[in-house]
Amino acid sequence: MPVRILLMFVGGFLLTACDDSGQQETRSLKEILNLSSERVVRSFDPEQIKRGERVFQANCENCHGKNATGTADWRTPTADGKFPPPPLDGTAHAWHHSTAVLKKTILQGGPPEFSTMPAWEGILTEQQVDDVIVWIKSLWPDEIYTTWYHNFEEK
C-alpha cells in the first residue's frame, strides 16, 4: 500500500478515534486542504508559550519527545495494538483537531483501545493545559496553522 494512502487512512482513523463526544470533526483530506488558505496571523502571548513549554518539558516530553517530535515509529502500532505517542509539532495529526478536542484529549487521555495517553485531569490545571496547547500550536508551520485555523477555529 503506498505510504500516502496509508497515512490518509491512519490519519482519518485517528481523527475519528480521538473524539467520542459526538462532535462532528471528521473531514476528508481534500476538504481540509481545499478550504481558504488566507494566512492567519498568530497573536500568542509569549509568556503563555514559555509556560506551556515548561509544562510540556516537565510532563509530556518523556513520551512525545523533545520539542514534541514524537517517537520514531509513531505510525506503527505496538504489540498491544496501541499507537506510540505522535509528534505534536505539525508533522502528524494533532492539527486535525479543534482546541476543544486537544484539551479534552489531554484532560481525559487518549482512547484506551488505541492509545496509552494518560488523563492529566487533576494533575495539570486547565491553565497549564491551555498553555501547553498554545505552545504546541506555536510549533506548527504557518501553512499547517492556517489550514487548522480555517477548519476548526474560524466558525
Q: Which tens digit of pLDDT belongs to each residue from 21-63?
A: 444 455 555 555 555 567 888 999 999 999 999 999 999 999 9
Does 31 fall in a domain?
no
Q: How many domains does the chain have?
A: 1
Let me know if residue 106 belongs to a domain.
yes
Q: Is residue 37 part of a domain?
A: no
pTM of structure: 0.76
The whole domain housing 136 covers: 46-153
Domain-located, residue 141: yes
Question: What is the rounded CA–CA span in Å between residue 132 and residue 155?
Answer: 23
Give Cβ neighbours of residue 76 (< 8 Å, ≥ 6 apart): 83, 84
Per-residue pLDDT tens for 90-147?
999 999 999 999 999 999 999 999 999 999 999 999 999 999 999 999 999 999 999 9
User: What is the C-alpha separation between 59 and 62, in angstroms, rounded?
Assistant: 7
| CATH number of the domain residue 148 falls in | 1.10.760.10
